[in-house]
Structure 1
Amino acid sequence: MPIQNSFPTTEHLVSPQATSLNQTTLWTALITPFNDDESIDFDTLTQLVAEQNAAGNGILLLGSTGEALAMTPEEQQAVVRHVCALALSVPLMVGVGGYQLQQQRQWLAFLADYPIDALLLPVPLYAKPGAASQQKWFESLLDDSRWPCMIYNVPSRTGAALDAQTLGAIAKHPNAWAVKEASGNVETFTRYIQAAPTLQFFCGDDALFVDFAAAGACGLVSVAGNAWPEATALYVQQTLSQAAPSFKQLWQDAGNSLFCAANPIAVKALMQHQGRLRHAGLRPPLYMDELPELTPVLDANHQVNQWMNTCLAQ
């Protein structure tokens, strides 16, 4: 598949945003826009990055929402080169996926030449490693990393949950910085906090952020931030500053609507409807046919926009 990227390689730069990680409460797990021929739409990618930058949202590249594992290594590298060549005032995090350790080490070696600020390290997918295997895997990547790392628990995608005892052990590593918890269970989230109280904890589910914040989450890694960059930022700010936010149900419904089909199908369909994507293209094994209708997502879009307008008018 063709790679249409004219940006030069950026070598050995140190991001000026590295110190802002602890102040970033919202990370948008950015989609990857594709053209009709499934090549990467770099023009639209530039626009989407600019929107997140303007909203002050941290950017997570090449996560599951970005369909990273459906892309070739060359395409993943092209995305990093492209975004790192843009003028960003927000921190940049890059996903590390798969389950082949040597391949992940090669990815870290590539990233070493670019001004990124953090890594996202999920539990290895498919192999279902137990506690001892998880610890050795994470320690290997943490040792090889030159950045702060966010450990990612998402058993619905990886097939195995992050072991709490393993998290407690790797939390002592100097490159362990944070946890993204996306099991959908507040009790699990609380157990991880108890196991590794020195780490920062982020909710990985837009719909549950109010409950996770009450349990100790300091921020959100968001799919909704793609569709509503400014509104999601306000949602996070108000959730963290209010004891019992009145908008909990609204954002639960909005977050759930984006998962009425496998992510990122619904959010891409919505963004095309918003006029922010020229094409709602996906990479196999995902197809837009999985989304039977757009009504729930359009209803959520209306409610979020109405809520945002009301907030701005106050």
Structure 2
Amino acid sequence: MQFDRAAAAYADQLSRVRRLSPATVRAYGADLRDLSATVPGAEVGEVDLEALREWLWRATQRGDARATLARRAAAARSFFAWALEEGLVPADPSLRLVAPKRGRTLPRVATADGVRGMLDGLADRAATGDPVLLRDHAMLEVLYGSAVRVSELTGLDQGDIDLQRATLRVLGKGAKERVVPFGVPARRALETYLGRGRPVLVARAAHRAPGPAVFLGVRGARATPRAVYDVVARELGAVVGTAAVGPHALRHSAATHLLDGGADLRAVQEMLGHASLGTTQIYTHVSSGRLAATYRLAHPRA
């Protein structure tokens, strides 16, 4: 089988069988298409270790980041492990493929006071009744109050929200469902948006039925992650000092503030939907201020 056809079949398997997130499927698919372009017309079995090393070397020469190189190598290893299982190759050529280790960077975090001021200011502007501002306020309150991913936020349907219990039912990575809590400010913002803002956006949908989506765009369709990015960049950018900030910054901030407030690490892991506790532990580095404060209060020689 030709490599490009096998890569397409593998991407389909990632989506339908392994049920990975659309973003992961797109990223792996793009990586394999990039590899295919370096071995045009080759059969799967013709792609050997040297071809893979040449592929990564070219990516290095054009300036791809270490994280990108690490992901490309992971995509190749995952693909060839599948190809071996399917009998498309006699041996896995990626077993000895080495890529630079992915550098671990600390997430951008806003202060609790900064987030509070941003949300309070947005609430004041939304009090005018503008449906888009009501939506934006509810969006950011939910993002920060529940620490959900942007894809989980935009995927919310009205039936996923329990306002009485203040919980959301979200579908995370790997199609894993979890229930996460949110706070009183988020509940108030949601109630106001659903009662006063969303009906106006629904009316703008004209002849298109918007469906059960909670958050809608200005034309009444389900809001996209890009739209949420734009809102976060505009509102939170002033707080952290750069417009190059997205919804994950609110997720990072929420997790850090939970740990600063004394939340258990495993409870935060469950709330964030991390499969590995190691992923959650990065926030313990961000929360070093909490450790220093505890030391000063508790250690006899502080």
Give me the TM-score of the superposition, normalised by structure 1. 0.26
Higher strand share: 1
Higher helix share: 2
Give me the TM-score of the superposition, normalised by structure 2. 0.27
Rg (Cα) greater in structure: 2
